[in-house]
Structure 1
Amino acid sequence: MPTDDTVTETSAFHRARQRSIPLLPGLGACAIAVLISLGVHSLVPSLPAMTIAVVLGILVANLPGISLLTRGVLSPGLGFAGKKLMRAGIVMLGLKLSIVDILGLGWAAFGIVVAIVLLAFAGTYLVGKLFKLPGDAPLLIAAGFSICGASAIGAMAGARRVRPTDTVMPVALVTLCGTLAIAVLPLLMEPLSLNNIQFGQWVGASVHDVGQVVATAQVAGPAALAAALVIKLTRVMLLAPIVFFAAMGTRRSAKNSQHDNGEAEKPAPLPPLIPLFIIGFALMIGIRSLGILSPEMLEAGAILQDVFLGAALFGLGAAVSIRELLSSGMRGIMVALLSWILIGTLGYAGVQLMSI
């Protein structure tokens, strides 16, 4: 006869299985979207795979008939991807960063990049507040535009305990402006009298997602692309400290809320001081910096990152209603465009300072 422990383990297995089954249709759709995105990117390298994934999600969410599936049977898996797989992708993003490469910039250039990020973050946040965007939208947009696009939005949302549905508009906006940058910035290279290296630095300092940086900078050659990536990855490294301070703010607010409610109610658990996925992100940076990973392992990590982030962005894109975005998101669009201009201007000024 089965023991009590055996029955308990079997019951736990069945409960876990029942919970996972509703996720499968949505995760299957995410897998198909990732394959399509990576396939299109391999055929047209100028189109970043992550941008394609977001666009596919938006299309699926707004096509008659298919949109019913995103709000029905696909919804649990898409929501899981938008939250959990986004965090897994952020962890894997750390493998792209090496402290050695960042130190190669020199302290002056590093300080300039930090100043660009902080000024862009503060400026975008203030503009978002000026336009009275709701909730944490100003904070999410500021993180996305100043640091590393949708990945930073996901990280900030995790630190602030923001619902995945509330990240939909910021992700759509950062994707829109990053896509515009791919088309617009190369046209400005000659009018702004930028050489190849300076153009790469400008792109790295101004464009949001890593894939969008690659797509924009590569038109000016490998030297421009190398310069762009070093600057961009320096911005990405600032994700950890900025999210840490955001998590501290969330924790402080939770403590104040408990204090205001008194001791009649059982206090809710406080959010972690450092979100677990940010610890994973920092650990991956450390592992990459030690130089112990082979090129094949780094390539495998990059593929995993693309899979996780592609699935997450498809899931978030599938929550975007174009009708609702246009009707209620005009203020967000204005904030995004102003932020895009701001960080482009700051990036250009930074390039001029680096050239002195």
Structure 2
Amino acid sequence: MTILDDLRPYVPGLALLGGGALFATLLGGAVSGLQPLVVAVAAGVVAANTVGTPAAAEPGVALHKLALETGIVLLGAAIAIEELAAAGPTVLGLVVVAVAGGLLLSEAVARGLFRIGGTTPSLLAAGASVCGVSAVVAVGRVLEARGAALTFAAATVLLFDAVTLVAFPLAGEWLGLTARQFGVWAGVSMFSTGPVAAAGFAHSTEAGQWATVTKLARNSLLGGVAVAYSVAYAARSATDPEARELWAEFPKFLLGFLLVAAIANGGLLSSAAIDSITAVSDGLFLVAFVGLGLSIRVRELRSVGLAPVGVVLVHLLVVSALALVAVRTLL
């Protein structure tokens, strides 16, 4: 079997993603003020919920996650570490407070106000506080959560990913936030990496970079949060062999992002090389956001129960409001 034979199943999906990215680029360039990345997500959502994704294209479309992670890794070349270092302690402090406070808030609201039992409150708290569905899966594994709990928690997070993807860029314009303020606000408040990056870049390139970096800081806390939950539930220990599964869910592209950022800021790349890498990163984001849109199914989101939605809504409103005050005051 040749390499071409291995790649053939992915060609239809990659062609679909590439076509969507090209359409987004052309339309975004033709309409003043319209961000191609926003068009990419919207085109994917419309296609997925009207004609659907052809079965032959599904293997290739699934690669949009790889495109997103690779784009984030290459984004490291455009990050000025000196600029991040200046605001680093402040942003890092906001991330830690938001994650810790969000976990406690969601647990209290789910168990006290909505009377949800079992592992579902913890899955909702992790998904909303750390990194979306990835956190739901990671914490679900260490807690041996049932399939139904995982499904409802993941669906709830996806529902809010879709809502915040539209709401945050609009709110950012209305509130008059600077690029850095909006990027950090989105990175602290929203749930999954893809929508955070999309919302950030919908505002501006600088906001997209800040949103992504802030979100990666949250993502890096996943392992610690999962271990803390395993200890709290007395179901696992940090030295249990099952802890290896945490590494499987840990966002390893974070390490690649840091490596590329270190290389670029170490003077090992020319300005032309950095510009080329950034252009490739932008192209991968376009492809990834088309796939992100294709993954949003309105019909599936309708099946989410009201109690999980209520928990995550309270979390989002409280955390985003407090984060907004913080970024306006500190940044």
Pair 21,55 (structure 1): closer, same or farther in 2 beyond 3 Å? same
Mean Cα deviation higher: 235-244 or 97-106: 235-244
Cα deviation, residue 233, structure 1? 5.6
Cα deviation, residue 293, structure 1? 2.8
Counterpart residue number, 1:280: 256
Paired residue secondary structure (1:328): coil
Q: Does 1:203 align with 2:203?
A: no
Counterpart residue number, 2:68: 86
Aligned-partner Cα distance in 2 for 1:284–1:215: 24
Cα deviation, residue 126, structure 1? 3.5
Counterpart residue number, 1:27: 14
Cα deviation, residue 114, structure 1? 3.4
Q: Does 1:341 align with 2:317?
A: yes
Matched to 2:67, the amino acid is L
Pair 304,142 (structure 1): closer, same or farther in 2 beyond 3 Å? farther
Aligned-partner Cα distance in 2 for 1:313–1:85: 9
> What percentage of residue pairs aligned between the two structures are identical?
19
The unaligned stretches of length 5 or more in structure 1 are 1-12, 145-152, 190-197, 219-224, 262-266
Deviations 1:71-103 (A, max 9, x none): 511112122333x33332332233343321112
Deviations 1:1-39 (A, max 9, x none): xxxxxxxxxxxx43x543321111111101111112233
Partner residue of 1:126 out of 107, 111, 119: 107
Counterpart residue number, 1:174: 161
Counterpart residue number, 2:191: none
Pair 245,167 (structure 1): closer, same or farther in 2 beyond 3 Å? same
Paired residue secondary structure (1:104): helix
- The answer to whether the 8 A contact 2:182-2:200 is kept is yes
Counterpart residue number, 2:146: none
Counterpart residue number, 2:271: 295
Pair 230,282 (structure 1): closer, same or farther in 2 beyond 3 Å? closer
Partner residue of 1:72 out of 55, 66, 73: 55
Task: Give the alignment's Cα RMSD to 1 decimal.
Answer: 4.3
- The answer to whether the 8 A contact 1:34-1:310 is kept is yes
Deviations 1:22-58 (A, max 9, x none): 1111111011111122333334464444443332222
The alignment of Structure 1 onto Structure 2 pairs a total of residues equal to 304
- The answer to whether the 8 A contact 1:123-1:339 is kept is no
Q: Does 1:324 align with 2:305?
A: no
Matched to 1:278, the amino acid is L
Q: Does 1:142 align with 2:124?
A: no
TM (norm. structure 2) is: 0.70
TM (norm. structure 1) is: 0.66
Aligned-partner Cα distance in 1 for 2:164–2:330: 25
Pair 49,243 (structure 1): closer, same or farther in 2 beyond 3 Å? farther
Aligned-partner Cα distance in 2 for 1:318–1:39: 19
Aligned-partner Cα distance in 1 for 2:23–2:105: 33
Q: Does 1:103 align with 2:82?
A: no
Deviations 1:248-274 (A, max 9, x none): 679999x959x999xxxxx99856476
Counterpart residue number, 1:147: none
